[in-house]
A = this chain, B = another copy of it.
Amino acid sequence: MKPAESQTPLTFRDYASALKPVWCPGCGDFSVLSAITKALAELALRPEEIALVSGIGCAARIPAYVNAYGFHGVHGRALPLATGLKIARPELTVLVTGGDGDGFSIGGNHFLHACRRNVDLTYIVMDNQVYGMTKGQASPTTEPDWERGKLTPGGPQINPFQPLVIALASGANFIARASSSDPNGAARLLVEAIRHPGFSFVQVLSPCVTYRPEQRHWKKLVRPAPVEATDEPARAARRLLTDDSFNIGVLYRGHRKPYQLAMGSAGDNLTLIEEEFST
Protein backbone atom coordinates (compact mmCIF):
# COMPACT_ATOMS: atom_id res chain seq x y z
CA MET A 1 0.00 0.00 0.00
CA LYS A 2 1.16 3.53 -0.71
CA PRO A 3 2.36 5.63 2.17
CA ALA A 4 -0.32 8.17 2.97
CA GLU A 5 0.21 11.34 1.04
CA SER A 6 0.95 14.59 2.76
CA GLN A 7 -2.11 15.78 4.63
CA THR A 8 -2.29 19.31 3.21
CA PRO A 9 -5.86 20.54 2.89
CA LEU A 10 -7.30 19.81 -0.52
CA THR A 11 -9.29 22.22 -2.65
CA PHE A 12 -12.29 21.18 -4.70
CA ARG A 13 -10.01 20.96 -7.73
CA ASP A 14 -8.15 18.13 -6.06
CA TYR A 15 -11.32 16.08 -6.08
CA ALA A 16 -11.71 16.27 -9.84
CA SER A 17 -10.08 13.53 -11.88
CA ALA A 18 -8.16 14.23 -15.07
CA LEU A 19 -10.90 12.76 -17.24
CA LYS A 20 -12.96 14.98 -19.52
CA PRO A 21 -16.70 14.35 -19.16
CA VAL A 22 -18.55 12.95 -22.16
CA TRP A 23 -21.54 15.21 -21.50
CA CYS A 24 -23.06 17.62 -23.98
CA PRO A 25 -21.98 21.22 -23.54
CA GLY A 26 -24.37 22.88 -21.11
CA CYS A 27 -25.56 19.67 -19.47
CA GLY A 28 -26.64 20.23 -15.87
CA ASP A 29 -24.46 17.37 -14.71
CA PHE A 30 -21.34 19.55 -15.00
CA SER A 31 -22.60 21.66 -12.13
CA VAL A 32 -23.53 18.64 -10.08
CA LEU A 33 -20.03 17.30 -10.52
CA SER A 34 -18.63 20.58 -9.32
CA ALA A 35 -21.05 20.62 -6.38
CA ILE A 36 -19.85 17.16 -5.40
CA THR A 37 -16.17 18.12 -5.52
CA LYS A 38 -16.92 21.24 -3.50
CA ALA A 39 -18.80 19.27 -0.89
CA LEU A 40 -15.97 16.79 -0.57
CA ALA A 41 -13.47 19.62 -0.17
CA GLU A 42 -15.66 21.23 2.45
CA LEU A 43 -15.84 17.94 4.34
CA ALA A 44 -12.07 17.59 3.97
CA LEU A 45 -12.35 13.88 3.31
CA ARG A 46 -9.29 12.08 1.98
CA PRO A 47 -9.93 10.94 -1.63
CA GLU A 48 -9.03 7.37 -0.74
CA GLU A 49 -11.67 7.29 1.99
CA ILE A 50 -14.44 8.14 -0.45
CA ALA A 51 -16.23 5.86 -2.87
CA LEU A 52 -18.69 6.89 -5.55
CA VAL A 53 -20.94 4.19 -6.91
CA SER A 54 -23.19 4.49 -9.93
CA GLY A 55 -25.19 2.59 -12.49
CA ILE A 56 -25.51 3.55 -16.16
CA GLY A 57 -26.66 6.79 -17.77
CA CYS A 58 -25.21 10.22 -18.45
CA ALA A 59 -25.43 11.18 -14.78
CA ALA A 60 -24.02 7.82 -13.76
CA ARG A 61 -20.75 8.70 -15.45
CA ILE A 62 -19.77 10.87 -12.48
CA PRO A 63 -17.56 8.47 -10.48
CA ALA A 64 -14.75 8.48 -13.03
CA TYR A 65 -14.70 12.29 -12.97
CA VAL A 66 -14.07 12.43 -9.25
CA ASN A 67 -10.74 11.76 -7.61
CA ALA A 68 -11.95 9.01 -5.31
CA TYR A 69 -12.57 5.29 -5.52
CA GLY A 70 -15.40 4.64 -7.92
CA PHE A 71 -17.60 1.91 -9.28
CA HIS A 72 -19.48 2.36 -12.53
CA GLY A 73 -21.65 -0.73 -12.32
CA VAL A 74 -24.65 -1.92 -14.31
CA HIS A 75 -27.86 -0.05 -14.97
CA GLY A 76 -30.07 0.35 -11.93
CA ARG A 77 -28.01 -1.53 -9.35
CA ALA A 78 -25.83 1.15 -7.79
CA LEU A 79 -27.67 1.17 -4.48
CA PRO A 80 -27.17 -2.49 -3.60
CA LEU A 81 -23.56 -2.33 -4.72
CA ALA A 82 -23.01 0.66 -2.45
CA THR A 83 -24.88 -1.08 0.36
CA GLY A 84 -22.54 -4.06 0.19
CA LEU A 85 -19.53 -1.80 0.12
CA LYS A 86 -20.62 0.34 3.06
CA ILE A 87 -21.53 -2.65 5.20
CA ALA A 88 -18.22 -4.32 4.48
CA ARG A 89 -16.26 -1.08 4.89
CA PRO A 90 -18.20 1.10 7.33
CA GLU A 91 -15.41 3.66 7.66
CA LEU A 92 -15.70 4.77 4.04
CA THR A 93 -17.87 7.67 2.89
CA VAL A 94 -20.03 6.23 0.16
CA LEU A 95 -21.95 8.35 -2.34
CA VAL A 96 -24.28 6.97 -4.96
CA THR A 97 -24.91 8.97 -8.11
CA GLY A 98 -27.16 8.49 -11.10
CA GLY A 99 -30.10 9.52 -13.18
CA ASP A 100 -33.86 9.30 -12.79
CA GLY A 101 -34.16 6.32 -15.12
CA ASP A 102 -31.39 4.42 -13.42
CA GLY A 103 -32.78 5.17 -9.97
CA PHE A 104 -36.54 5.16 -10.35
CA SER A 105 -37.25 2.97 -13.35
CA ILE A 106 -35.04 -0.10 -13.45
CA GLY A 107 -33.66 0.71 -9.99
CA GLY A 108 -36.98 1.47 -8.31
CA ASN A 109 -37.00 -1.58 -6.10
CA HIS A 110 -33.57 -0.89 -4.71
CA PHE A 111 -34.55 2.71 -4.06
CA LEU A 112 -37.52 1.56 -1.96
CA HIS A 113 -35.46 -0.89 0.00
CA ALA A 114 -32.44 1.36 0.44
CA CYS A 115 -34.69 4.01 1.98
CA ARG A 116 -36.16 1.39 4.31
CA ARG A 117 -32.85 -0.18 5.19
CA ASN A 118 -31.29 3.17 6.05
CA VAL A 119 -27.65 2.30 5.50
CA ASP A 120 -25.43 5.38 5.87
CA LEU A 121 -25.22 6.36 2.20
CA THR A 122 -25.85 9.55 0.28
CA TYR A 123 -27.85 9.07 -2.89
CA ILE A 124 -27.68 11.88 -5.44
CA VAL A 125 -30.12 11.62 -8.33
CA MET A 126 -29.66 13.98 -11.23
CA ASP A 127 -33.24 14.27 -12.37
CA ASN A 128 -33.74 15.47 -15.93
CA GLN A 129 -37.03 13.70 -16.49
CA VAL A 130 -35.63 11.82 -19.43
CA TYR A 131 -33.32 8.99 -20.44
CA GLY A 132 -30.44 11.06 -21.76
CA MET A 133 -27.97 8.30 -22.48
CA THR A 134 -30.33 6.35 -24.72
CA LYS A 135 -31.31 9.53 -26.56
CA GLY A 136 -34.47 10.84 -25.15
CA GLN A 137 -37.16 8.47 -23.94
CA ALA A 138 -39.58 9.27 -21.14
CA SER A 139 -38.48 8.41 -17.61
CA PRO A 140 -40.65 7.81 -14.53
CA THR A 141 -40.45 11.51 -13.66
CA THR A 142 -41.49 12.69 -17.13
CA GLU A 143 -44.72 14.63 -17.47
CA PRO A 144 -47.63 12.54 -18.80
CA ASP A 145 -48.08 14.79 -21.82
CA TRP A 146 -44.47 15.06 -22.99
CA GLU A 147 -44.83 13.94 -26.56
CA ARG A 148 -41.24 13.98 -27.72
CA GLY A 149 -40.22 10.63 -26.23
CA LYS A 150 -39.91 8.37 -29.23
CA LEU A 151 -41.16 5.27 -27.41
CA THR A 152 -44.24 7.15 -26.20
CA PRO A 153 -45.26 9.31 -29.13
CA GLY A 154 -48.56 10.35 -27.55
CA GLY A 155 -46.89 11.11 -24.23
CA PRO A 156 -46.36 8.56 -21.46
CA GLN A 157 -49.86 9.20 -20.06
CA ILE A 158 -48.70 8.10 -16.64
CA ASN A 159 -48.55 10.11 -13.42
CA PRO A 160 -44.95 11.08 -12.76
CA PHE A 161 -43.05 9.27 -10.07
CA GLN A 162 -42.58 11.55 -7.04
CA PRO A 163 -39.05 10.91 -5.78
CA LEU A 164 -39.37 12.84 -2.52
CA VAL A 165 -42.75 11.37 -1.72
CA ILE A 166 -41.53 7.85 -2.24
CA ALA A 167 -38.31 8.50 -0.34
CA LEU A 168 -40.32 9.74 2.61
CA ALA A 169 -42.90 6.96 2.40
CA SER A 170 -40.22 4.32 2.38
CA GLY A 171 -38.22 5.78 5.23
CA ALA A 172 -35.23 7.73 3.93
CA ASN A 173 -33.56 9.53 6.81
CA PHE A 174 -32.66 12.76 5.06
CA ILE A 175 -34.45 14.20 2.05
CA ALA A 176 -33.52 17.29 0.06
CA ARG A 177 -33.80 18.88 -3.35
CA ALA A 178 -31.07 20.86 -5.05
CA SER A 179 -30.67 22.53 -8.40
CA SER A 180 -27.76 22.34 -10.78
CA SER A 181 -28.28 26.03 -11.49
CA ASP A 182 -26.82 26.77 -8.05
CA PRO A 183 -23.78 24.54 -7.60
CA ASN A 184 -22.71 26.24 -4.39
CA GLY A 185 -26.11 25.79 -2.84
CA ALA A 186 -26.13 22.21 -4.04
CA ALA A 187 -22.70 21.69 -2.51
CA ARG A 188 -23.99 22.94 0.86
CA LEU A 189 -26.93 20.56 0.72
CA LEU A 190 -24.63 17.71 -0.17
CA VAL A 191 -22.37 18.47 2.77
CA GLU A 192 -25.37 18.19 5.04
CA ALA A 193 -26.62 15.06 3.35
CA ILE A 194 -23.25 13.34 3.65
CA ARG A 195 -22.93 14.33 7.29
CA HIS A 196 -26.40 13.13 8.16
CA PRO A 197 -26.34 9.55 9.44
CA GLY A 198 -28.35 6.93 7.59
CA PHE A 199 -29.74 7.03 4.09
CA SER A 200 -29.75 10.54 2.62
CA PHE A 201 -31.52 11.25 -0.61
CA VAL A 202 -30.89 14.36 -2.68
CA GLN A 203 -32.79 15.01 -5.88
CA VAL A 204 -30.89 17.45 -8.06
CA LEU A 205 -32.77 19.13 -10.87
CA SER A 206 -30.23 18.84 -13.65
CA PRO A 207 -31.38 19.81 -17.15
CA CYS A 208 -30.78 17.67 -20.18
CA VAL A 209 -30.11 20.43 -22.65
CA THR A 210 -30.13 18.04 -25.57
CA TYR A 211 -33.38 16.14 -25.18
CA ARG A 212 -35.23 18.53 -22.87
CA PRO A 213 -33.92 21.95 -23.91
CA GLU A 214 -36.93 23.59 -22.27
CA GLN A 215 -35.42 22.59 -18.91
CA ARG A 216 -32.96 25.44 -19.29
CA HIS A 217 -35.78 27.48 -17.82
CA TRP A 218 -35.67 25.57 -14.59
CA LYS A 219 -33.14 27.99 -13.25
CA LYS A 220 -35.86 30.63 -13.30
CA LEU A 221 -38.40 28.42 -11.60
CA VAL A 222 -36.40 27.11 -8.67
CA ARG A 223 -36.59 28.93 -5.34
CA PRO A 224 -35.64 28.18 -1.74
CA ALA A 225 -38.33 26.16 0.00
CA PRO A 226 -40.56 28.55 1.97
CA VAL A 227 -40.19 26.60 5.21
CA GLU A 228 -37.45 25.01 7.24
CA ALA A 229 -36.68 21.31 7.24
CA THR A 230 -38.69 19.17 9.64
CA ASP A 231 -37.99 15.96 11.51
CA GLU A 232 -41.62 14.90 11.50
CA PRO A 233 -42.56 12.64 8.61
CA ALA A 234 -46.18 13.76 8.82
CA ARG A 235 -45.25 17.39 8.43
CA ALA A 236 -42.90 16.60 5.58
CA ALA A 237 -45.66 14.62 3.89
CA ARG A 238 -48.03 17.57 4.17
CA ARG A 239 -45.48 19.88 2.61
CA LEU A 240 -45.05 17.57 -0.31
CA LEU A 241 -48.75 17.84 -1.04
CA THR A 242 -48.26 21.42 -2.15
CA ASP A 243 -44.81 20.91 -3.62
CA ASP A 244 -44.52 21.95 -7.26
CA SER A 245 -41.12 20.27 -7.46
CA PHE A 246 -39.19 23.53 -7.59
CA ASN A 247 -38.71 24.08 -3.86
CA ILE A 248 -35.02 23.78 -3.12
CA GLY A 249 -33.63 22.83 0.27
CA VAL A 250 -33.82 20.19 2.95
CA LEU A 251 -37.28 18.77 3.40
CA TYR A 252 -36.72 16.21 6.10
CA ARG A 253 -34.10 15.22 8.64
CA GLY A 254 -34.89 12.00 10.48
CA HIS A 255 -33.41 10.44 13.57
CA ARG A 256 -33.47 6.77 12.69
CA LYS A 257 -30.42 4.80 13.59
CA PRO A 258 -28.45 3.76 10.51
CA TYR A 259 -28.48 0.11 9.64
CA GLN A 260 -25.11 -1.47 10.22
CA LEU A 261 -24.30 -5.09 10.83
CA ALA A 262 -21.42 -5.79 13.18
CA MET A 263 -18.78 -6.35 10.54
CA GLY A 264 -15.38 -7.59 11.59
CA SER A 265 -16.16 -7.88 15.28
CA ALA A 266 -14.01 -10.47 16.99
CA GLY A 267 -15.57 -13.87 17.25
CA ASP A 268 -15.31 -17.59 17.67
CA ASN A 269 -12.66 -19.75 16.34
CA LEU A 270 -13.94 -21.69 13.33
CA THR A 271 -13.12 -24.93 15.12
CA LEU A 272 -15.91 -24.25 17.57
CA ILE A 273 -18.34 -24.11 14.70
CA GLU A 274 -16.97 -27.29 13.19
CA GLU A 275 -17.56 -29.04 16.49
CA GLU A 276 -21.28 -28.91 15.78
CA PHE A 277 -20.83 -31.51 13.10
CA SER A 278 -19.23 -34.17 15.27
CA THR A 279 -21.49 -37.10 15.86
Contacts and interface: CB of A to CB of B under 8 A. Distances in A.
Interface majority SS (helix, strand, loop, mixed), chain A: helix
B166 A116 contact: no
A142 to B, nearest CB: 11
Contacts of A47: none
Given A109-B109, A166-B166, A159 B171 contact: yes
A111 to B, nearest CB: 9
A118 interface: yes
B159 A118 contact: yes
Interface string A157-187: 1111110011001110000000000000000
Contact of A170 (B109, B161, B238): B161
A113 interface: yes
A72 interface: no
B158 A259 contact: yes
A116 B158 CA distance: 6
A234 interface: yes
Interface string A224-260: 0000000001100110010000000000000010010
A98 interface: no
Interface of A: 105-109, 112-113, 116-118, 140, 157-162, 165-166, 169-171, 233-234, 237-238, 241, 256, 259
18 contacts: A105-B113, A106-B109, A109-B109, A109-B112, A112-B112, A112-B166, A116-B158, A116-B161, A117-B158, A118-B159, A157-B259, A158-B259, A165-B169, A166-B169, A166-B170, A169-B169, A234-B241, A237-B237
